[in-house]
């Protein structure tokens, strides 16, 4: 009889890793697993530590502030318990399921990138462990776009520690370990399922650079036809200005230099008041903030780390016109979705990660009640490295024309009576 027929294990027990962004997501996953197991066995299964799990992963309805109006996507993303530091092992037995099983006794691990990062640790740390990732056969990364708003480095750190040979044996019976695991070929057999609400180069890089399954890859993508600009209801001229850069790294400096040399001088005039600058990258935000301070420009700034009082003060000073500029980060908008009143001029320092943020920010112009009474402007920067983002905002066909065109400035007008 073939000896390989008896080899039915990996080097460690966990076979499935499900990466989700919030405790609420983990709660839903566990409920689905229970429902699937019960439908397969046609009877209820015993779930250990269920009460503890509900207490730690459930949410208190009283915690949600009343009368809080937010967009549908916000309500869907931030429903329930939104703590992002957790990990839980799940052992699936014949007639039961054990929650909070130790990792090396678990079949399934459900965790957030941050929850795994604190276990995996960093090089040089004494207490670090990633052997439990050595024999993962199915890796599911759900809601990958949310990790761009959390900390993408945690995802990359996790991916770089997948399917490595364990440092300890963990009591494994080597006579039952599959040969591809012993040969350190596990990554070629691992199935990776990656789900995201949007296209993004960093998400694509995981698919292209870290998925090695020998059977190949399949990608399903929705091509944006009209783009989010079609949802702008305000009568507003949109000026898209193309940047020239030799690489995706050099475009960062090219964008900054273009902004301070070509664009900012146009907005320094006293009549160009109430200018909102939307900045997706926190590092770009810090760079702009420091430059504005150095030049002693009249501005306020809000980021995801700003205090509630600081946010209220900045919004008030901007609305009243005491501050000419307001710089905000994309993460602030993602996590808070506050309405900014008083906008007359918009600058998208970089195209938004989420395309619908473009229309959301543009539609805030109408909150000032100044449509028709003041000259409104909207300027956005793009380069050839923003092809996916541009297509999501203006539509695939328009984006292709804008990227191939010799013209560096393109104008669209929304909200007209066409």
58 & 200 share domain: yes
Same domain, yes or no: 126 and 88: yes
Residues 201 and 235 in one domain: no
Phi-psi sector, 375: left (phi>0), alpha (psi -120 to 50), beta: beta
The answer on 188 and 246 residing in a single domain is: no
User: How many domains in the chain?
Assistant: 2
Q: Are residues 139 and 267 in the same domain?
A: no
CATH (domain of 383): 3.40.50.300
With CA atoms as reference, report the closest residue to 19 among 162, 217, 205. Answer: 162
Burial (Cβ within 10 Å: 0-12, 13-18, ≥19) of residue 61:
exposed
Of 182, 210, 238, the residue that ends a domain is 210
Extended strands (E) in 153-305: 191-194, 236-242, 275-279, 299-302
**Would you say residue 7 lies in a domain?**
no
Q: Is residue 5 part of a domain?
A: no
Give the mean model confidence (pLDDT) for residues 133-143. Answer: 97
Q: Is there a domain that residue 165 lies in?
A: yes
Residues 197, 253: one domain?
Answer: no
Question: Is 278 among the domain residues?
Answer: yes
Lowest mean pLDDT among 2-16, 297-311, 338-352: 2-16
- Residue 181 inside a domain? The answer is yes
Structure tokens at 189: 């057999």
Nearest to 280 by CA among 202, 178, 375, 374: 202
pLDDT single digits (tens) 265-282: 998 887 788 999 999 999
Residue in the structure block whose two tokens are 């549908």: 72
**CB distance 318 to 356 below 8 Å:** no
Give the closest residue to 343 by CA, choosing from 355, 325, 322.
325
Spatial separation of the C-alpha atoms in residues 378 and 335, rounded to whole Å: 23
Q: What is the DSSP string of 131-143?
A: GGGTT--EEEE-S
Angle, helices 113-120 vs 152-159, to 10°: value is 50
Given CA atoms 11, 14, 16, 19 in this order, what sign does their dihedral have? negative
Give a yes or no: residue 4 inside a domain. no
Q: How confident is the model at residue 418 (pLDDT cuts 50, 70, 90)?
A: very low
The pTM score is 0.92
236 within a domain of the structure (yes/no): yes
Q: What is the mean pLDDT of the chain?
A: 92
Last residue of a domain, one of 176, 210, 244: 210
Structure tokens at 363: 């539609």
Closest C-alpha among 253, 244, 246, 307 to residue 283: 253
Determine which helix (DSSP H) or strand (DSSP E) holds 414, and give its type and residue range: strand 409-414
Q: Tell me how far apart the alpha carbons of residues 362 and 294 are, in angstroms, rounded to a whole number.
A: 29
Side-chain half-sphere CA neighbours of 340 within 13 A: 32
One domain for residues 258 and 306: yes
Q: Are 140 and 205 contained in the same domain?
A: yes
Residue 324, judged by CB atoms within 10 A of its CB (0-12, 13-18, 19+), counts as buried
Look at 36-45, 228-237, 319-328, 405-414 and tell me which has the smallest mean pLDDT. 36-45
In a domain, 249, yes or no: yes
Give tens-digit pLDDT for 176-219: 999 999 999 999 999 999 999 999 999 999 999 999 999 999 99
Predicted local distance difference test score (pLDDT) of residue 370 = 53
Same domain, 248 and 331: yes
Judge if 362 and 241 occupy the same domain.
yes
pLDDT tier at 117, thresholds 50, 70, 90:
very high
Q: What is the dihedral of CA 79, 51, 36, 102, to 10 degrees?
A: 100
330 in Cβ contact with 357 (< 8 Å): yes
* Structure tokens given for 27: 């709660």
For the residues 355-361, what does the mean pLDDT come to? 97
**Could you give the dihedral angle defined by the CA atoms of residues 259, 261, 264 and 269, in that order, rounded to the nearest 10 degrees?**
-170
Same domain assignment for residues 251 and 373: yes
Residue 62 is predicted with a pLDDT of: 58
**In this structure, are 76 and 194 located in the same domain?**
yes
* CA pair distance 247, 226, nearest whole angstrom: 28
Could you tell me how many residues make up the chain?
A: 418
Pairing of strands 96-99, 87-92: antiparallel
Whether 329 and 280 have beta carbons less than 8 Å apart is answered as: yes
- Structure token digits, residue 413: 């007008």
Q: Domain range spanning residue 333?
A: 228-414
- Choose among 348, 332, 337: nearest CA to 276: 348
Contacts of 17 (CB under 8 A, 6+ apart): 108, 109, 111, 133, 136, 138, 139, 140
């Amino acid at each position: 009889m073939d000896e390989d027929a008896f080899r039915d294990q990996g080097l460690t027990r966990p076979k499935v890793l499900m990466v989700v962004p919030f405790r609420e997501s983990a709660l839903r996953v566990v409920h689905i697993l229970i429902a699937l197991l019960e439908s397969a066995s046609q009877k209820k299964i015993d779930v250990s530590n269920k009460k503890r799990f509900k207490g730690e992963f459930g949410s208190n309805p009283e915690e949600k502030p009343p009368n809080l109006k937010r967009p549908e996507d916000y309500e869907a993303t931030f429903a329930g318990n939104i703590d992002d530091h957790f990990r839980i092992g799940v052992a699936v037995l014949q007639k039961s399921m054990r929650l909070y099983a130790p990792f090396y006794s678990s079949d399934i691990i459900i965790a957030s990138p941050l929850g795994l990062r604190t276990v995996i640790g960093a090089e040089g740390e004494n207490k670090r462990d990633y052997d439990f990732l050595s024999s993962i056969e199915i890796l599911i990364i759900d809601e990958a776009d949310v990790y761009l708003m959390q900390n993408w480095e945690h995802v990359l750190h996790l991916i770089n520690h997948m399917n490595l040979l364990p440092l300890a044996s963990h009591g494994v019976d080597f006579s039952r370990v599959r040969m591809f695991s012993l040969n350190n070929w596990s990554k070629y057999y691992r199935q990776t399922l990656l789900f995201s609400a949007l296209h993004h180069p960093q998400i694509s890089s995981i698919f292209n650079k870290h998925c090695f399954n020998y059977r190949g890859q399949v990608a399903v993508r929705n091509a944006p036809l009209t783009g989010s600009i079609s949802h702008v209801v305000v009568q507003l001229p949109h000026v898209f200005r193309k940047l020239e850069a030799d690489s995706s790294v050099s475009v960062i400096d090219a964008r900054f230099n273009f902004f301070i040399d070509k664009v900012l001088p146009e907005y320094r005039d006293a009549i160009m008041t109430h200018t909102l600058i939307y900045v997706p990258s926190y590092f770009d935000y810090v760079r702009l903030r420091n430059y504005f301070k150095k030049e002693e420009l009249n501005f306020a700034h809000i980021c995801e780390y700003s205090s509630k009082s600081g946010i209220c003060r900045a919004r008030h000073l901007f609305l009243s016109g005491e501050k000419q500029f307001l710089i905000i980060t994309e993460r602030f908008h993602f996590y808070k979705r506050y309405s900014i009143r008083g906008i007359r001029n918009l600058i998208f320092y970089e195209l938004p990660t989420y395309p619908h943020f473009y229309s959301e920010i543009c539609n805030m112009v109408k909150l000032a009640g100044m449509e028709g009474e003041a000259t409104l402007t909207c300027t956005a920067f793009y380069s050839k490295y923003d092809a996916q983002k541009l297509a999501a905002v203006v539509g695939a066909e328009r984006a292709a024309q804008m990227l191939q065109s010799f013209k560096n400035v393109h104008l669209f007008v929304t909200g007209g009576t066409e």
